[in-house]
Structure 1
Amino acid sequence: MSTPQPHRTPEIEIARVRRAPRWGVFLGIGVVVGVVVAFLLTAFGNFEASEATQVAYPFGQVFGFLVLWTVPAGIAVFGVIALLLERAARRSERVVRVDHETIAE
Structure 2
Amino acid sequence: MISAKTIGRAVRDSRRALKLTQAQLSEAIGKTPDAISQIERGVNVPSVETIAALSKELFVPIDALIFPKDATAQPSARDARVRQALSLLANLSDRDLEIAVRQLQAFAGD
Q: Return the structure number with greater helix share.
A: 2
Which of the two has higher C-alpha Rg?
1
User: What TM-score, normalized to structure 2?
Assistant: 0.24
Q: Which has the higher contact order (CA 8 A, sep 6+)?
A: 1
